[in-house]
Amino acid sequence: MKVVFFGTPQFAVPTLEKLLKHSNFEVLAVVTQPDKRRGRGNQLTPPPIKTIATAHNLPVWQPQRVKKDVETLSQLRATGADVFVVVAYGQILSQEILDMPKLGCVNVHGSILPKYRGAAPIQWCLYNAEKETGITTMLMDEGMDTGAMLLKATTPITLMENAQDLAEKLALIGADLLVETLLKLERGEIEPIPQQNSEATYAPLIKKEDYQLDWSKSAIQLHNQIRGFYPNCTASFRNQPLKISVCAPLGSAYWQELPPEIQEFSRKLPDLSIASGRAGEVVSIAKGMGAIVQTGEGLLLLREVQLPGKRPQSGWDFVNGARVTIGEVLGS
């Protein structure tokens, strides 16, 4: 089967690699986003998919706007591809492009559709405390993740998984499901199922304000926000920004899902049960772990943080280095 691959971030890499290794597929070319300037040196950096494609000597096309780029459209048409595979490409495809391949355009989407259509399904399902997610393959149409569904695969979500962990897991699931989808599609063994729009939910692009922590929220809400929008959630500490990238909600409802070292800490629960303070106040210090902060409901253990201009550090190193004291208040 002749394939043109559309994709950009690391999430798309396992699928491309799986196609390249599989004897049933021939990847003709790769379409990805233009290189971007990143890091302190502001160096022009290729997307992860381009790195893989270049290593395999594949043609790489990087149009600013694929549906308006005459040269890319001509190149796509000339491939005579059986299918276009799209994994987190980052641009909307026109009907002209969707109509080019013989079997259509197959998308690998990081949710159980029709839930979490949109750009950030992994992040928002964590934010919303979902217990399960997965991958849906679908035939693309001009809508935003509205095409007919082909196959689905599900996976449970654990309390301590963050967006990066979940993306890595889903990327591998998606690679396997895409191969199964293409083989069955070619053999006519899949009946596309239209989505029920009435059941749809949405996962929009994450905005700057979504990263801001509000200590009046409950500990579990803050935990889900921090892991969902990992590693960029921010509070304030002594009038400067403080990124909080790893945390743990404390309480009997969560002990079984917490790491063993925090479960051991449960023996001190009687002491914590009498700890109280204002929202955002450090009410205790967990030796070897970090500061425990009062929230609008429940306590939150800060396990990894980052001060401006510094590298991420453990909650315990932060407590010692900054000489954090009980009674200090973190701002929103």
Domain boundaries, the chain: 2-199, 208-322
Instruction: Tell whether the model's pLDDT for residue 267 goes beyond 80.
Output: no
113 is in an annotated binding site: yes
258: CB partners within 8 A, 6+ apart = 159, 160, 248
The answer on pLDDT for 271 being more than 70 is no
How confident is the model over 45-102, as pLDDT tens digits?
999 999 999 999 999 999 999 999 999 999 999 999 999 999 999 999 999 999 999 9
| 231 marked as part of a ligand binding site | no
Burial status of residue 48 (CB atoms within 10 A of its CB: 0-12, 13-18, 19 or more)? middle
Backbone angles phi, psi at 148, to 5 degrees: -65, 135
Q: CB of 106 within 8 A of CB of 83? A: yes
274 is in an annotated binding site: no
- Sheet with 105-109, strands from edge to edge, namely 60-61, 26-31, 2-7, 83-87, 105-109, 132-139, 149-156
State the pTM of this model. 0.94
Strands 26-31 and 149-156: unpaired
For domain 2-199, give the CATH number. 3.40.50.170
pLDDT digits (tens, 9 = 90+) for 286-308: 989 999 999 999 999 999 999 99
CATH assignment, 208-322: 3.10.25.10
pLDDT digit string (tens) for 140-187? 999 999 999 999 999 999 999 999 999 999 999 999 999 999 999 999
Is the CB of residue 195 less than 8 Å from the CB of residue 202? no
Task: Consult the annotation and say whether 111 binds a ligand.
Answer: yes
